[in-house]
Amino acid sequence: MPAKLTSDQFRDNFPMLSGVVHLAACSQGALSGELQAALAELTAGMARQGAPWDAWMGEVAQARRRFAALIGAADDEVAMVPCASDGAYQVASTQDWSARPVVVTTDMEFPSIGHVWLAQAARGAQVVHVPERGATVDADELVAAIDERAALVSIPAASYRNGARMPVVAAVARAREAGAKVFVDAYQATGVLPVDVRELDCDYLVSGALKYMLGLPGVAFLYVRDGIADDVPPQLTGWFGRVDPFGFDPRTADFPANARRFETGTPAIPSVYAANAGMRLLSRVDVHEVGRHVTGLAASTAERLLGAGERLWLPESPIGPQVALVDDNPDRLAAYLAERRIITAPRGAVLRLSYHYYNNESDVDALCSAIADYRSGS
């Protein structure tokens, strides 16, 4: 087995980083040479064959397999969906809310997921929001909100707002006692933090390709634990959700027993190629080492910024791959940094500074120096 890449070796796969400090993987990962080559392969195949469906379907199958390997799942426990919201909707649509109407979620969840649960009110669902406490969610308060009325517990592995890592293990343990299912949003973790569905023991998990997984928008993945039964079939479906998609039978809507029953129409093929490119790179690293590296950079950044008098929205522990800098005008600060070729991700009242394995201490130096210049008016 080839040796895993070091951070410096991994960085060599991102030519753009020779002139840019990329601290926005929480929004969009840096562009790799691997991704550029994958898109060139896609267009070259179209030029040669016109409609290379066999090659496309091979990429789709490979993407499912790669994501399954990334999270410790079996291949047939993974469905390909257009985005995380679609994955959440597919799960919600299969629930009968009449006996157990409650969805327990948190204020640290991404709105696009939370809105799916709210929209289920028309079918009888009742959403319980566990509020943020400081920069995270209190595990005891979350556990207390989960009772026998809960059908589903929705929790992010790490919050998009400040990278705080959520008490998933405690939530799953309580959900098991109460007889509820658990939906984990791992979009802000997969690719930089270890994510193992067997260890998490969750029922569903969703993640997508464009952020830390180093792909493009248009493709996400839904893990569905083997043996999970639906109250009703998925309400959104399409030809990829059939037992034999290439049977082309308009009179039969049969659903596979595995996770592919949650798939709908033709995937965004360019995004599938990009997803495979990102996951190929991720397969060459040790995710535990990646986790240590990015959390170390985040901790170093937090220490330096706090020492300089900056305000941070920071969980006590454990720190994630991101630092949230509080500022009166995060968009203006982001624009200033962009002029210095430092790419960040403003959201609400904070400027998000997120790290990947390709980042290093020189990026932290450049960031802290630029922020000091901004404060001094330089």
Averaged pLDDT for residues 96-113: 97
Q: Which CATH architecture has domain 7-23+286-376?
A: Alpha-Beta Complex (3.90)
160: CB partners within 8 A, 6+ apart: 26, 110, 187, 188, 347
Label each residue of the chain as H, E or C.
CCCCCCHHHHHCCCHHHHCCEECECCCCCCCCHHHHHHHHHHHHHHHHHCCCHHHHHHHHHHHHHHHHHHHCCCHHHEEEECCHHHHHHHHHHCCCCCCCCEEEEECCCCHHHHHHHHHHHHHCCEEEEECCECCECCHHHHHHHCCCCEEEEEEECECCCCCCECCHHHHHHHHHHHCCEEEEECCCCECCECCCHHHHCCCEEEEECCCCCCCCCCCEEEEECCCCCCCCCCCCCCHHHCCCHHHCCCCCCCCCCCHHHHCCCCCCHHHHHHHHHHHHHHCCCCHHHHHHHHHHHHHHHHHHHHHCCCEECCCCCCCCCEEEEECCCHHHHHHHHHHCCEECEEECCEEEEECCCCCCHHHHHHHHHHHHHHHHCC
Amino acid code (one letter) for 256: P
From 222, 135, 230, select the one nearest 181 (Cα to Cα): 230
pLDDT value at 157 more than 90: yes
Look at the domain 41-282 and name its fold. Answer: Aspartate Aminotransferase; domain 2 (3.40.640)
Domain ranges (residues) in the chain: 7-23+286-376, 41-282
Averaged pLDDT for residues 22-39: 98
Per-residue pLDDT band at 327 (split at 50, 70, 90): very high
CA 147 to chain centre: 27
C-alpha dist (Å) from residue 25 to 135, 143, 175, 263: 20, 31, 31, 27
- List pLDDT tens digits, range 190-203: 999 999 999 999 99
pLDDT value at 318 more than 90: no
CA 58 to chain centre: 23
Indicate the pTM of the whole model.
Answer: 0.96
pLDDT value at 265 more than 80: yes
pLDDT value at 317 more than 90: no
pLDDT value at 378 more than 80: no
pLDDT value at 346 more than 90: yes
Over pLDDT 90: what percentage of the chain? Answer: 98
Averaged pLDDT for residues 238-245: 96
pLDDT value at 125 more than 90: yes
